[in-house]
């Protein structure tokens, strides 16, 4: 049964020593327990590695170290080879799932007549208070939705947890902070060079790129509100340009790479002029109030040949019609209600 399915936990860590113990403590309380916990440390300069090794004595855990910060995408790719279980919980070190988080996700998948089509399942994330990652009454994510401009959003982010996010739904995808993936689905969208997440992204927006690829192949994402986790979000949409300049630069770079990998001509036609208006706004910001992001535009241009190869591969393997996929890209975001079984 799906509810008894084995799963691995995959974490990529970089200077998370202050909260890593709270995250791994939550992992230790998961029921059923994970088969393996794989933690990749991206050359942390704090005590992250020491914390991880201490917890490795209490968990079925493998710690993989890197001499340099390879980025989140490359870290995930390195860890995936150590995750043989049928399900993989991709978890950020600043996230603490409730003990029944995975069992709720697996049970929800097993209860659906479309179970074999579900490639991922994601729960309700609440904003966390450090350092213990205790839950707050503020929603961090209730599944990922997308807009005709090509932007992706964590549904409900920053809103009160007042019951509006308590209905299951089909969503575009799940946040990389805490989403359970079917291993077969991940292998189905693995790039020919062995990369699950394109390493050109380094970090940010790679979860949306993965979600788009999964959608093209017909894999569905189920939002399960009873599966709850706390997440101390570092990148908060409501802060706009007041983020770290490096984050803004990567965000600009990857918004173009995301579309270059996954958007077809039909998407550009159906979502016109929204993506064009957004592009002009981003270009204008980079030339005026956010000049530190200009290198992101340059890097996106330099990566155009690699992006083109990936797009040809993605679109050459698609299983769903362009019109069917484009329905997700509606103003305000769109989710599909889950019919009762």
Report the CATH number at residue 37: 3.90.550.60
232 lies in the same domain as 245: no
Position 1 scores a pLDDT of: 39
The reply to whether 201 falls in a domain is: yes
If asked whether residues 231 and 248 sit together in one domain, one would say no
pLDDT at site 304: 97
DSSP letter, residue 329: B
Q: What is the pLDDT of residue 4?
A: 59
Which pLDDT score is estimated for 224?
98
11 plus 138 within the same structural domain: yes
Task: Burial-class residue 121 by CB neighbours within 10 Å (0-12, 13-18, 19+).
Answer: buried
Does a structural domain hold residue 207? yes
Q: Phi first, then psi: what are they for 113, rounded to 5°?
A: -65, -20
- Would you say residue 244 lies in a domain? yes
Same domain (yes/no): 144, 251: no
In a domain, 337, yes or no: no
Of 281, 28, 53, 17, which is closest to residue 151 (Cα–Cα)?
281
Please tell me the predicted confidence (pLDDT) of residue 243. 65
- Based on the structure, what is the number of domains in the chain? 2
Pick the last residue of a domain from 185, 204, 238: 238
Distance CA 328, CA 331 (A): 9
Residues 209 and 130 in one domain: yes
Contacts of 114 (CB under 8 A, 6+ apart): 220
Same domain, 136 and 230: yes
Give the pLDDT confidence score for residue 339 in this predicted structure.
Answer: 87
Domain enclosing residue 245, as ranges = 240-318
For residue 193, being part of any structural domain is answered with yes
DSSP string computed for 77-143: HHHHTT--SSEEEEE-TTEEE-TTHHHHHHHHHHTSTTGGGEEEEEEEEEEEETTTTEEEEEEEESS
326 in a domain, yes or no? no
Q: Around Cβ 190, how many Cβ atoms within 10 Å?
A: 14
**Is 324 inside any structural domain?**
no
- 87, 223: one domain: yes
Q: Are residues 234 and 301 in the same domain?
A: no
Spatial neighbors of 288 by CB under 8 A, at least 6 apart, are none
End residue of a domain, out of 223, 238, 253: 238
In a domain, 298, yes or no: yes
Nearest to 205 by CA among 253, 264, 276: 253
Same domain, 197 and 304: no
Do 121 and 213 belong to one domain? yes
- Residue by residue, pLDDT tens for the chain (341 residues) are 344 589 999 999 999 999 999 999 999 999 999 999 999 999 999 999 999 999 999 999 999 999 999 999 999 999 999 999 999 999 999 999 999 999 999 999 999 999 999 999 999 999 999 999 999 999 999 999 999 999 999 999 999 999 999 999 999 999 999 999 999 999 999 999 999 999 999 999 999 999 999 999 999 999 999 999 999 987 555 455 556 899 999 999 999 999 999 999 999 999 999 999 999 999 999 999 999 999 999 999 999 999 999 999 999 999 999 999 999 999 889 999 998 87
Shared domain for 125 and 265, answered yes or no, is no
Q: Is 217 in the same domain as 312?
A: no
């Amino acid at each position: 049964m799906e509810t008894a399915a084995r799963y691995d936990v995959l974490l990529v860590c970089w200077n998370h020593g202050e909260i890593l113990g709270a995250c791994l403590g939550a992992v230790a309380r998961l029921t059923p327990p994970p088969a393996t916990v794989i933690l990749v440390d991206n050359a942390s300069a704090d005590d992250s590695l020491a914390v991880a090794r201490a917890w490795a004595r209490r968990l079925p855990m493998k710690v993989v170290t890197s001499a340099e910060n390879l980025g989140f995408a490359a870290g995930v790719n390195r860890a995936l080879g150590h995750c043989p279980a049928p399900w993989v919980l991709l978890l950020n070190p600043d996230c603490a799932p409730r003990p029944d988080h995975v069992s709720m996700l697996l049970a929800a998948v097993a209860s659906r007549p479309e179970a074999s089509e579900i490639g991922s399942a994601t729960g309700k994330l609440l904003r966390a208070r450090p350092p213990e990652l205790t839950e707050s009454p503020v929603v961090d994510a209730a599944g990922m939705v997308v807009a005709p401009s090509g932007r992706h959003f964590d549904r409900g982010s920053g809103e009160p947890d007042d019951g509006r996010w308590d209905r299951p739904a089909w969503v575009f995808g799940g946040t990389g902070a805490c989403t359970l993936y079917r291993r077969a689905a991940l292998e189905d969208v693995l790039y020919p060079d062995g990369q699950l997440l394109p390493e050109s992204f380094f970090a940010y927006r790679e979860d949306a790129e993965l979600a788009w690829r999964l959608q093209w192949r017909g894999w569905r994402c189920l939002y399960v509100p009873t599966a709850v986790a706390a997440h101390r979000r570092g990148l908060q949409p409501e802060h706009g340009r007041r983020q770290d300049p490096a984050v803004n630069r990567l965000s600009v770079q990857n918004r173009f790479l995301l579309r270059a990998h996954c958007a077809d001509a039909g998407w550009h036609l159906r979502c016109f002029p929204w993506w064009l208006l957004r592009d002009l706004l981003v270009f204008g910001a980079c030339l005026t109030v956010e000049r530190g992001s200009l290198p992101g535009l340059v890097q996106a241009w330099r990566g155009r040949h690699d992006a083109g190869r990936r797009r040809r591969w993605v679109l050459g393997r698609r299983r769903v019609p362009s019109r069917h996929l484009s329905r997700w890209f509606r103003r305000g975001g769109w989710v599909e209600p889950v019919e009762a079984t």
